[in-house]
Structure 1
Amino acid sequence: MNPRERRAARHRPPDPEIAPGRESRRRKIPITVERVVDTALDLVAADGYEALTMRRLATALGTGPASLYAHVVNKADLDELLIGRLCSVLVLPEPDPGAWREQIRGVCAQIRDQYLKYPGISRAALAMAPTDLETVRVNEGMLAILLAGGVAPQAAAWAIDALLLYVAAYCLEASIARQRSAHDDDVWVLDREELLRRFAALPPAVFPHVTRHAVELTAGEGHDRFDFTLGLMIDGLAQR
């Protein structure tokens, strides 16, 4: 089976007629898709998504790029596998029409927390068509929640896209900020007091609103801004 055929097979539900013996024999193969994903996630957790290359991954697996390409088609295929793995641990609630807002917010928070465990990995989710079975499972679950809440199918479909895009962007920005703050001359990026000092030094005549509302502009702890933006998006759906 060539790599593209392997990829296509991963997008199909498992065949219940596959004998357990065959499955266990496959797992004895030194390099498997599961091991590739495990190793890639370890590299991302240690050094960030930008440090993940096919060549470095092959080295970490103790093989060459040619052997690696026998299991994944290319970097885009690897990205899909990584996001699929993160989606596989998400817990999707039984849709409740009376609690759909809290449920959709909870799913988004789970995705956020998974992305933040692996710096920059949300970049892999951008511009990705959800065809992996696990990513489709999450889309199915989110769609079920929104439909149960009375959201029209078209609005629900676009809302899921917007919510996932925001979560990915939020996590990517957080990863970039942490990376920059690792350099001594960029620590101010995450320093609210420094931002307040810089805003206070601006001429009020030129920047009347920024200087007057500097506290509000720099407010927020933890995921306050994330929760606020999700609330705006979800409340907008409810109003529709």
Structure 2
Amino acid sequence: MAQDPKARRAARHLQSGAAPAHPAPRREPLTVDRIIDAALHVVATQGYDALTIRAITGELGTSPSSLYAHVVNKADIDDLIIGRLSSELVLPEPDPDRWRDQLLQVYTQIRDQYLRYPGISRAALATVPTNLETLRVSEAILAILLAGGVEPQTAAWAMDALSLYVAAYALEISLVHARKTGQSEEWVLSRDELLHRLTTLPADQFPHIRSHAAELTSGSGHLRFDFTLNLMLDSLTRQPPERTEQTESHCPARP
């Protein structure tokens, strides 16, 4: 006669005096989106210098071999994270009457994205834009420039120059912040300290720096950022100089 089901169940629970077995929790599958999330978390909490394959796999609790099933290498991850940041930008419909303001809005968003993740603009500087989200931003910026009446070749090079400036601006801020919070803090001067040093320079060697130290050290917040972008935009509708034939290649314009 077959054993009673309740008895069989009790016998299973008592086997070898072991506690009842529980199925192991299923691990969340590894995806490209999870890899990007982990990479951005590393940068946000430790800075871009800490972004390595080992750091990402540590965040995910997986192995490098698992990661390489989804990404090619570190450069591929750079492309992916800049693509993610690009996907979050709000891009306006080009308006010929507001093209300058629209460019400032887009580049201000890019600046703020870079500042959220210390040093991440280095990834943008080192990446040839092929990610579709990154190219979406390039397309929008180029469209705004053209809507503003900027000549196509000037627009193409202007986009590159503006993007380089924004990336460098954000990188400089991240480097200064890193020095302030690290062992090199003593090398970061306050404005008052810098002003004092400049105004006490030998007058016969540095007359202009001494006289205009206040101007040289002025500008709080993002005043210098706005000034520089407006300065660059002021020149875009002027007649471009004649160009000699280009003899070497250059990376495509980046957002």
Using structure 1 for the length normalisation, give the TM-score: 0.86
Post-superposition shift, 1:29?
Answer: 6.0
Q: 2-side partners of 1:178 and 1:47: how far apart? A: 12
Q: 2-side partners of 1:173 and 1:114: how far apart? A: 14
User: CA 1:95–1:72 in structure 2 vs 1: closer, same or farther (change >3 Å)?
Assistant: same
Check the 8 A contact 2:43/2:117 in 1, yes or no.
yes
Q: Which amino acid aligns with 1:194?
A: E
RMSD: 1.4
Percentage identity across paired residues of the two chains: 62
Q: 2-side partners of 1:33 and 1:190: how far apart? A: 42
SS of the residue 2:202 aligns to: coil
Q: Which amino acid aligns with 2:82?
A: I
The 5 Å alignment of 1:155-194 reads 155-183=154-182, 186=185, 189=188, 191-194=190-193
Q: 2-side partners of 1:61 and 1:168: how far apart? A: 28
SS of the residue 1:238 aligns to: coil
Residues 95-153 of structure 1 show CA distances to partners (whole Å, capped at 9, x for unaligned) of: 01011111111100000000000000000001321110100000000011000001111
The 5 Å alignment of 1:16-31 reads 30-31=29-30
Length, aligned pairs only: 213
Q: 1-side partners of 2:107 and 2:137: how far apart? A: 10
Residues 154-208 of structure 1 show CA distances to partners (whole Å, capped at 9, x for unaligned) of: 1111111111111000000000000011147625625100101111221111111
SS of the residue 1:211 aligns to: helix
The 5 Å alignment of 1:91-110 reads 91-110=90-109
Check the 8 A contact 1:87/1:134 in 2, yes or no.
yes
Check the 8 A contact 1:188/1:195 in 2, yes or no.
no
Check the 8 A contact 2:111/2:166 in 1, yes or no.
yes
Q: Which amino acid aligns with 1:230?
A: L
Q: Which amino acid aligns with 2:96?
A: P
Check the 8 A contact 1:112/1:167 in 2, yes or no.
yes
Check the 8 A contact 2:179/2:187 in 1, yes or no.
no
Q: Which amino acid aligns with 1:92?
A: L
Structure 1 residue runs of 5 or longer lacking an equivalent are: 1-27
The 5 Å alignment of 1:1-240 reads 30-183=29-182, 186=185, 189=188, 191-240=190-239
Q: Which amino acid aligns with 1:143?
A: L
SS of the residue 1:143 aligns to: helix
User: CA 1:35–1:145 in structure 2 vs 1: closer, same or farther (change >3 Å)?
Assistant: same
Q: 2-side partners of 1:193 and 1:225: how far apart? A: 18
Check the 8 A contact 1:95/1:145 in 2, yes or no.
yes
Check the 8 A contact 2:36/2:77 in 1, yes or no.
yes
Check the 8 A contact 1:177/1:190 in 2, yes or no.
no
Using structure 2 for the length normalisation, give the TM-score: 0.81
Q: 1-side partners of 2:79 and 2:182: how far apart? A: 31
Q: 2-side partners of 1:194 and 1:149: how far apart? A: 43
Residues 30-59 of structure 1 show CA distances to partners (whole Å, capped at 9, x for unaligned) of: 110000000110110001000110111112
Query: Who is 2:253 aligned against?
Result: none
Q: Which amino acid aligns with 1:155?
A: T
SS of the residue 1:91 aligns to: coil
Q: 2-side partners of 1:186 and 1:210: how far apart? A: 25
Q: 2-side partners of 1:117 and 1:108: how far apart? A: 14
User: CA 1:64–1:191 in structure 2 vs 1: closer, same or farther (change >3 Å)?
Assistant: same
Structure 1 stretches of at least 4 aligned residues deviating more than 4 Å after TM superposition: none
